[in-house]
Amino acid sequence: MDGEGGGGSGALLVFGHRSPDTDTICSAIVLADLVKGTPARLGEMDPETELALRKFGAAAPILLSGSAEGKRVYLVDHNEAVQSAEGIEKAVIAGIVDHHKFGLRTAEPILIRAEPLGATASIIYKKFVEQGRSVTKQQAGLLLCAILSDTAIFRSPTTTQEDREIAEELVRIAGVKDIEALGLELKKAKADFAERDLAKAVSSDFKVFPMGSGTLGISEIEVTDDARAQAKAGEIVPILGKLKAEGGHHTAALMAANIAARASRLFVVSDSPGIVEAAFGKKLENGGSIYFPGVLSKKKDIIPKLERVFSAAKK
């Protein structure tokens, strides 16, 4: 027995959030090795993640399509029921490793490891070190891709000094020669995906957060210039409208992140556009979007501000 992930019966499934991203998938694969579990995923992987797995020769986690009820699970990179597997309330949660705000209520005390680092992958690496385990070249490569992805190649304000130091270690172990080039290649895979199939790119990254008395669905794509993003408003707004209606959310949003310019444009379709405008003290411009110079993090710059106004509006 490992000490972690004990109790219950059946295989221990290790998985991240719905609409999986590179941090969720790579963290699940590597942590599964540490806790002797089976890596799983809750949806289709995007081309950025597929590229990361291909580069370091890793197999895709198994697709968990049914309910998690009664299963032993270890969650990475999320902790909200709305982002997790169906039936998660009735699963046996062996543990959680995450770097998001906490929204979870559990019936029993459980093992939780949360740190405000740029990626869950950084915490996974720390767990290996703490347990006296070394990561393989493949594992180092996967964790490195996850950090580059989640921190927008260290440009996101969520990036910490610890993430940079861990990434340096991983670069050495994985034998990566040019970390910036690897990051840009991953981001390009994501940008190309949005160019190729905007609707699929937006829906494949769509994450749901409880917000006030309803829910917010938010997604992110990479863009190379703002004029192009604005020109796509006519396509983006109907895509968000459809996702909003399908999920019954009060707000659907898309952050079009321009990593090179360190800026984002947030497209919004909402039942309460006035509340969204109040959250940021800015008006929604033509096509229903707001431009944010210096913003590259939904987690730090967007979601907390929306949460504040929506929970105030609920009262």
**Smallest gap, in angstroms, from Cβ of residue 99 to Mn ion?**
6
The continuous run of DSSP H or E covering 86 comes out as none
**Smallest gap, in angstroms, from Cβ of residue 6 to Mn ion?**
26
The Cα 99–Cα 116 span in angstroms is 5
Between 105 and 144, how does the x/- string for binding to Mn ion read (CB under 5 A)?
A: ---------------x------------------------
**Smallest gap, in angstroms, from Cβ of residue 145 to Mn ion?**
12
Between 25 and 64, how does the x/- string for binding to Mn ion read (CB under 5 A)?
A: ----------------------------------------
The Cα 53–Cα 305 span in angstroms is 34
Q: Is 23 in the site for Mn ion (CB under 5 A)?
A: yes
Q: Which is nearer to Mn ion, 4 or 150 (CB)?
A: 150
Q: Is 272 helix (H, G, I), strand (E, B) or coil?
A: coil
**Smallest gap, in angstroms, from Cβ of residue 149 to Mn ion?**
8
Total site size for Mn ion, rule CB under 5 A: 4
Among the residue ranges 133-141, 146-154, 195-203, 250-258, the one whose residues contact Mn ion (CB under 5 A): 146-154
**Smallest gap, in angstroms, from Cβ of residue 299 to Mn ion?**
8
**Smallest gap, in angstroms, from Cβ of residue 220 to Mn ion?**
12
Within 10 angstroms of residue 304's Cβ, the number of other Cβ atoms is 12
4, 80, 150, 222: which one binds Mn ion (CB under 5 A) = 150
**Smallest gap, in angstroms, from Cβ of residue 315 to Mn ion?**
31
The continuous run of DSSP H or E covering 79 comes out as none
Sheet containing strand 72-76, edge to edge, reads: 62-63, 38-41, 12-15, 72-76, 92-98, 112-114
- Spell out the SS3 assignment of 101-144: CCCCCCCCCCCEEECCCCCHHHHHHHHHHHCCCCCCHHHHHHHH
Q: Which residue is nearest to Mn ion (CB)?
A: 23
Would you say 84 and 42 are in contact if contact means Cβ atoms under 8 Å apart?
Answer: yes
- Name the β-bridge partners of 185: none
Among the residue ranges 6-14, 75-83, 133-141, 271-279, the one whose residues contact Mn ion (CB under 5 A): 75-83
48, 77, 205, 220: which one binds Mn ion (CB under 5 A) = 77
Would you say 89 and 68 are in contact if contact means Cβ atoms under 8 Å apart?
Answer: no
The residues of the shown chain that bind Mn ion, judged by CB under 5 A, are 23, 77, 120, 150
